[in-house]
Amino acid sequence: MLNILQKFFAFCGEENKKKFRVSIILSVIQAMFSALRIPAIAVLLQACLEQNVTVKSILISFGIMFVSVIGIGIIKSKSSMLQTEAGYGTCADKRIEIAEHMRFLPMGYFNDNSVGSITSVTTNTMHGLENVATRVIMLVCEGLLTTALIAVMLLFFDLRIALVLIIGFALFMLTNHLLQSASEKVSEQKIVADREMVEQVIEYVQGITEVKTFHLIGNKSKALNRSIKNNAEINKKMEFTLVPYMGVQTLVTRLTGVAMALVSVMFYLNGSMSLFYTLLMILSSFLVLDALSTAGSYSALLRVINLSVDLANQILDTEVMDIDGKDEVPTNYNLHAENIEFSYGDKKIIDGITLDIPEKTTTAIVGPSGGGKTTLTNLLARFWDVDAGKVTLGGKDVKEYSMDSLMNNFSFVFQNVYLFHDTIANNIRFSNPDASMDEVIAAAKKASCHDFIMNLPNGYETVLGEDGASLSGGERQRVSIARAIMKDAPIIILDEATANVDPESEVELVSAIEELTKEKTIIMIAHRLKTVRNADQIIVIDQGKIVQQGKHDDLMKQEGIYKNFISEREKAISWRIHTA
């Protein structure tokens, strides 16, 4: 139990840990005020036994009780506020820290870990910590501290009764240790079940079109239903596993109070304890019951909190890419790859590529699917680090740049565009949050999306659905290009940006791309003949190697992948439907 408390406080960070420390100190003071009930009762009890109840004794008793109640109220209010601030502050800070940390993780991390898994940690896990952990941690601490304080106070009244309480407290801690051990395995199962359920729900929602198309509802959505039922079963299993231990823990608590009362009566009967102290010890036993019961009731959740902290730390402990470079502005924008290699797991994706991309030129990358085209562009932009060789920008290894200063040089337009659940204006100014509305409109006009934006209900203030679902594919692409125009980076990477666009949108999209790429270094992955033909150099990649390189006319004179690629495209373009 104590090591879990220690781990949680270490997880909180210095500022929030300080608030928890102050809250614990206040809890000790609160326990002292709570313990004042014993002398308050003692004053009145002694007066009753001596048959000398006076106004003075009543006022003293109620005065001490009044101080106890007011002190508890004030201290508990302040302590609760600090606990709430520290709990929610910790989870907010950790969410931000996780988000910031993920910026510098290699992209391979996101291949190994599903969106649902990461989402589960930042939502379910953090939500559990902010709503449950603070209350559990502090109530357990308060219960243990109050019991310890009562035990110390009893030492001054009667050493024998204090020893009974100490033995009972030791048995409580032993039982709690057994409870934590039993909780360990089932808590891990609960965390896994929670994560799997979130993964399945996200997958179901993201694939809702296929779900409707193929009628994958009700009993047919087996994976989702199974994960939900499994989650319910694990939660029931957790309760059934822990309830017996909690019952024993409660029994130990009750028996400790009973033992204190019985021993006190025995000492009274054998004449070694006065009636006054006997009654006082019996009353004290009820206070002990309250404190230990509170600690015991919530301690079962400590193991879940422990695993939640571990899950968050797993992400934060994942090794980031080397980001200790300097904030630099390159003297030129020449890109160079020197014998670079990259493997994903045991599979080599890029195998010894050397490549020069002079600034303000257009390089087209073509080749069979799975040949390594996208991986190469990711390595050039340092989404991943190369396993061997090096990539330079302006003559400097990309690792010498800080990540932010390196990213300032790149803009990306991907085949699959992600737009945020926000206004169109804010989506465009994503790369420049301080941009004025005039700058946003200017970028939109260059990207050929001003007209369709103005036709929307609220123009630039129209809030897009998640991932821009309310826009067509071509419209999303043009908003993405407007975003890239706003950034105005010197190097543009186009990853099959026009692959899934209808012919009506293509004309405007090509116009937007031309506006974006003026006087820029262009690296494009393309399948369309028109975009490839006029490139300054064409790179043909197959199985992680450059198998052909040159201009269009030169490559057409060679037998190989490129010539076959062009022939297939020309056949596709000339294909027509003939009607009788």
| One domain for residues 203 and 130 | yes
Mean pLDDT, residues 172-199 taken together = 77
Range of the domain at 178: 2-316
Mean pLDDT, rounded, of the chain: 80
Q: Which residues contact 355 (CB under 8 A, 6 or more apart)?
A: 335, 336, 337, 376, 539, 546
Q: Is the pLDDT of residue 239 over 80?
A: no
Q: Which of 348-357, 360-369, 381-390, 460-469 has the lowest mean pLDDT?
A: 460-469
447 lies in a domain? no
Give the integer Cα–Cα distance in Å for 135 and 142.
10
HEC profile of 75-104:
HHHHHHHHHHHHHHHHHHHHHHHHHHHHCC
- Could you say which of 316, 342, 358 is where a domain stops? 316
Mean pLDDT, residues 187-199 taken together = 76
Instruction: Sort 246 into a burial class: Cβ within 10 Å, 0-12 / 13-18 / 19+.
Output: middle
| One domain for residues 223 and 293 | yes
Q: Is the pLDDT of residue 522 over 90?
A: no
User: What pLDDT was estimated at residue 212?
Assistant: 62
354 lies in a domain? yes
Q: Is the pLDDT of residue 83 over 70?
A: yes
| One domain for residues 213 and 150 | yes
User: What pLDDT was estimated at residue 498?
Assistant: 58
| One domain for residues 382 and 260 | no
- Which spans in 270-358 are helix H? 275-299, 302-316
461 lies in a domain? no
Band (pLDDT 50/70/90 cuts) for residue 70 is very high
User: What pLDDT was estimated at residue 506?
Assistant: 61
pLDDT, one tens digit per residue, over 446-473 is 888 888 889 888 888 988 866 556 677 7
User: What pLDDT was estimated at residue 416?
Assistant: 72
| One domain for residues 300 and 375 | no
pLDDT, one tens digit per residue, over 389-414 is 999 999 899 888 888 888 888 888 87
Question: 186: closest CA among 365, 48, 307, 52?
Answer: 307
Mean pLDDT, residues 242-258 taken together = 83
More confident residue, 513 or 251: 251
- Could you say which of 316, 345, 362 is where a domain stops? 316
Q: Is the pLDDT of residue 503 over 60?
A: no
| One domain for residues 140 and 212 | yes
| One domain for residues 121 and 196 | yes
- What is the CATH number for 87? 1.20.1560.10
| One domain for residues 167 and 210 | yes
Q: Is the pLDDT of residue 46 over 90?
A: no
| One domain for residues 7 and 93 | yes
Beta strands (DSSP E) in 66-221 are none
User: What pLDDT was estimated at residue 116?
Assistant: 65
| One domain for residues 148 and 197 | yes
Quick check: 232 and 194 in contact, CB under 8 A?
A: no
38 lies in a domain? yes
443 lies in a domain? no
| One domain for residues 75 and 223 | yes
pLDDT over 90 percentage in the chain: 4
Q: Is the pLDDT of residue 219 over 70?
A: no
Mean pLDDT, residues 54-62 taken together = 86
Q: Is the pLDDT of residue 111 over 70?
A: no
Question: 199: closest CA among 228, 175, 164?
Answer: 228
- What is the CATH number for 396? 3.40.50.300
User: What pLDDT was estimated at residue 128?
Assistant: 73
Structure-token pair, residue 188? 């891990």
396 lies in a domain? yes
290 lies in a domain? yes
User: What pLDDT was estimated at residue 340?
Assistant: 92
How does 110-147 read in b/e, with b if 16+ C-beta sit within 10 Å?
A: eeebbebbbbbbbebbbebbbebbbbbbbbbbbbbbbb
Q: Is the pLDDT of residue 115 over 70?
A: no
Give the range with max mean pLDDT: 90-104, 460-474, 542-556.
542-556
Mean pLDDT, residues 300-305 taken together = 71
155 lies in a domain? yes
- Could you say which of 316, 351, 373 is where a domain stops? 316
| One domain for residues 65 and 163 | yes
Q: Is the pLDDT of residue 580 over 50?
A: no
Name the pairing type of β-strands 362-366 and 347-357: unpaired
In a 13 Å sphere around the CA of 267, the CA atoms on its Cβ side amount to: 22
pTM listed for this prediction: 0.62
More confident residue, 324 or 433: 433
Band (pLDDT 50/70/90 cuts) for residue 502 is low
DSSP conformation class of 114: -
Question: 174: closest CA among 285, 251, 66?
Answer: 251
User: What pLDDT was estimated at residue 335?
Assistant: 92
CA distances from 425 to 413, 462, 480 (A): 18, 8, 12
Structure-token pair, residue 244? 């017996």
Q: Which helix (H) or strand (E) holds 352?
A: strand 347-357
pLDDT, one tens digit per residue, over 467-491 is 556 677 778 888 888 888 888 888 8
Quick check: 394 and 332 in contact, CB under 8 A?
A: yes
More confident residue, 507 or 579: 507
User: What pLDDT was estimated at residue 393?
Assistant: 92
Mean pLDDT, residues 554-579 taken together = 71
Domains of the chain: total: 2
